């Protein structure tokens, strides 16, 4: 398992990994409708709960490494079993389904105020460089590679409740059914 705390510009990892991006769709509109201080606090609480749940699903349930949060989007990689692209691809698709299930079932049950929110997920597999960059004491985890760029691009292209995965020839969209 990659320990992000041990990485730096000189100590990085080059691995076959699946990159996953999961974006909370509808969150911008949700924030815009939070006009009172109480509604804004509630929206922030929802965001933190969703982030925490997504992180647990990705790391604890499916053995991924959470790289970073990007606003209401989370980035993670899956690199084990080492150099087994097929097993890694299966694991990341399972994790994407887990994220969808968690959003539609767990989070909406415990946070009914999140009922209008959904998630879009994009994934791709390929050679990835994992490192930490920035100034000393303030280094952020980062992943570089075509699969990282493609996973982000795919996530941006799919609609809510969808998982988009590279098929090597284009994007395959997998639909998640609500509830």
Tell me the average pLDDT across 85-104.
Answer: 94
- Cα 61 to Cα 66: distance, rounded to the nearest angstrom: 12
Contact 163, 97 (CB under 8 A): yes
DSSP 59-127: IIIT--EEEEEETTEEEEEE--STT-HHHHHHHHHHHHHHHHHIIIIIIHHH-GGGTT-EEEEEEEEEE
Instruction: Give 20-39 pLDDT, tens digit per residue.
Output: 999 999 898 888 888 999 99
Half-sphere CA count of 27, side-chain side, radius 13 A = 21
Domain residues for the domain of 70 are 4-175
pLDDT-based confidence at residue 179 (cuts at 50, 70, 90): very low
Among 96-100, 115-119, 172-176, which is the least confidently predicted range? Answer: 172-176
Half-sphere CA count of 96, side-chain side, radius 13 A = 32
Instruction: Give 106-147 pLDDT, tens digit per residue.
Output: 999 999 999 999 999 999 999 999 999 988 778 899 999 999
The pLDDT assigned to 169 comes to 35
Residue with tokens 């909406």: 108
User: How many domains are contained in the chain?
Assistant: 1
Report the alpha-carbon angle 66-68-71, nearest 5.
130
Instruction: State percent of the chain over pLDDT 70.
Output: 93
CATH of the domain at 66: 3.30.70.1230
Tell me the average pLDDT across 139-166.
Answer: 94
């Amino acid at each position: 398992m990659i320990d992000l705390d041990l990485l730096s510009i000189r100590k990085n990892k080059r691995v076959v990994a699946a990159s996953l991006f999961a974006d909370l769709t509808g969150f911008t509109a949700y924030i815009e409708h939070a006009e009172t201080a109480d509604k804004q606090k509630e929206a922030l609480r929802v965001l933190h709960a969703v982030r925490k749940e997504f992180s647990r699903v990705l790391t604890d349930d499916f053995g991924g490494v959470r790289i970073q949060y990007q606003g209401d989007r989370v980035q993670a990689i899956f690199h084990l079993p080492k150099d087994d692209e097929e097993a890694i691809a299966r694991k990341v698709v399972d994790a994407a389904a887990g994220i969808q299930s968690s959003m539609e079932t767990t989070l909406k049950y415990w946070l009914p105020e999140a009922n209008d929110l959904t998630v879009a997920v994009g994934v791709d597999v390929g050679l990835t460089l994992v490192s930490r960059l920035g100034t000393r004491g303030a280094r952020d985890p980062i992943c570089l590679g075509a699969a990282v760029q493609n996973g982000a691009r795919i996530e941006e292209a799919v609609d809510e409740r969808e998982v988009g995965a590279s098929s090597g020839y284009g994007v395959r969209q997998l639909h998640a059914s609500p509830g």
